[in-house]
């Protein structure tokens, strides 16, 4: 694979084990993240038949996913695609469904067929524990190699909001009640018209499930994320800011733009 030269960060440093890289704007941030993930995929393909990749679904990922699709030489035929969360009760064709977002922004564009997608069936509400157990089986059968994540305005990872995050969670996926701040963010992101439209519960991969991958690329642009970035990097490592757990992972990189990094530069 011939990778384009990635943008040069305006600052970079390490907090505990976490690498932090700051770029001038969202576009450069997205290209840098894409180059890093493409390199991680290629490295995995050199030693294994396939790469198991977990993707986040959020507007914060738009530039990264566009740039990833634009890199020639990624062998998508050897990628298995997972995602990290889904609203409880939403069908896959709902405008705010994370499965729909990922199909439109990466899976469909890359030509990943259904038999290489491991999707959380959010519409299954009758026996959510059974749904969790089935998805946990999928994760154990094909352990994640690479996680492409973001962090929320309240510091969440996936839907591990501060009230429900558990760094020692014994399961890989669970149903959670969404924090008020998390639901407000979904409105701020334009995913729902109003707070009453946002589901109250969701399926989410747990913090240990996300940190089990050897490579984590965490893309966090925009001014509304600045407080969460500050808490994650300079606060205690605790469930009060779930993203602070990234500081314990030597394979994690936090990629910021100037706006999200404004309180830590």
Strand partners, 219: 255
Per DSSP, helices labelled H in 189-264 are 207-211, 226-234
Q: What confidence score (pLDDT) does residue 254 get?
A: 98
Q: What confidence score (pLDDT) does residue 187 get?
A: 87
Q: What confidence score (pLDDT) does residue 199 get?
A: 87
> Rounded to 10 degrees, what is the CA torsion of 151, 154, 157, 158?
-100
Q: What confidence score (pLDDT) does residue 11 get?
A: 98
pLDDT in tens, the chain (265 residues): 666 688 999 999 999 999 999 999 999 999 999 999 999 999 999 999 999 999 999 999 999 999 999 999 999 999 999 999 999 999 999 999 999 999 999 999 999 999 999 999 999 888 999 999 999 999 999 999 999 999 999 999 999 999 999 999 999 999 999 988 889 888 888 889 899 888 899 999 999 999 999 999 999 999 999 999 999 999 999 999 999 999 999 999 999 999 999 999 9
What predicted TM-score, i.e. pTM, was given to this entire model? 0.95
CA separation for the pair 30, 43 (Å, rounded): 20
Q: What is the DSSP letter of 83?
A: E
- The closest alpha carbon to 84, from 239, 242, 260, 248, belongs to 242
Find the angle CA(56)-CA(58)-CA(60) to the nearest 5 degrees. 105
Residues 6+ apart with CB under 8 A from 98: 57, 83, 85, 86, 87, 120, 122
Total residues found in the chain within this entry: 265
Q: What is the DSSP letter of 119?
A: -
In the β-sheet with 85-87, what is the strand arrangement from edge to edge? 85-87, 201-205, 173-177
Cβ contact 166:242 at 8 Å: no
Q: What confidence score (pLDDT) does residue 163 get?
A: 94
Q: What confidence score (pLDDT) does residue 1 get?
A: 61
* 53: enclosing H helix or E strand: strand 51-55
Residues 6+ apart with CB under 8 A from 155: 162, 228, 231, 232, 240, 241, 242, 243, 244
Q: What confidence score (pLDDT) does residue 132 get?
A: 97
């Amino acid at each position: 694979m011939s990778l384009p030269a990635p943008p040069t960060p305006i600052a970079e440093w390490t907090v505990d084990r976490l690498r932090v890289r700051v770029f001038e704007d969202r576009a450069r941030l997205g290209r840098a993240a894409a180059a890093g993930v493409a390199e991680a995929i290629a490295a995995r393909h050199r030693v294994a038949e396939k790469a198991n990749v977990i993707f986040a679904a959020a507007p914060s990922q738009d530039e990264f996913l566009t740039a990833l699709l634009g890199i020639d030489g990624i062998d998508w035929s050897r990628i298995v695609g997972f995602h990290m969360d889904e609203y409880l009760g939403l069908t896959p064709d709902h405008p705010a469904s994370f499965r729909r977002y990922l199909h439109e922004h990466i899976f469909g564009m890359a030509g990943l067929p259904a038999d290489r997608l491991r999707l959380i069936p959010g519409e299954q509400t009758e026996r959510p524990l059974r749904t969790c157990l089935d998805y946990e089986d999928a994760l154990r059968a094909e352990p994640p190699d690479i996680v492409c994540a973001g962090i929320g305005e309240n510091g969440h990872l996936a839907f591990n909001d501060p009230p429900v995050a558990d760094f020692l969670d014994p399961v890989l996926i669970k149903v959670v009640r969404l924090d008020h701040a998390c639901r407000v963010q979904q409105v701020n992101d334009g995913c729902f018209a109003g707070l009453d439209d946002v589901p109250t519960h969701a399926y989410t991969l747990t913090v240990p499930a996300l940190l089990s991958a050897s490579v984590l690329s965490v893309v966090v642009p925009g001014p509304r994320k600045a407080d969460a970035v500050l808490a994650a990097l300079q606060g205690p490592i605790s469930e009060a800011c779930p993203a602070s757990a990234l500081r314990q992972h030597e394979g994690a990189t936090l990629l910021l733009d100037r706006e999200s990094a404004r309180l830590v530069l």
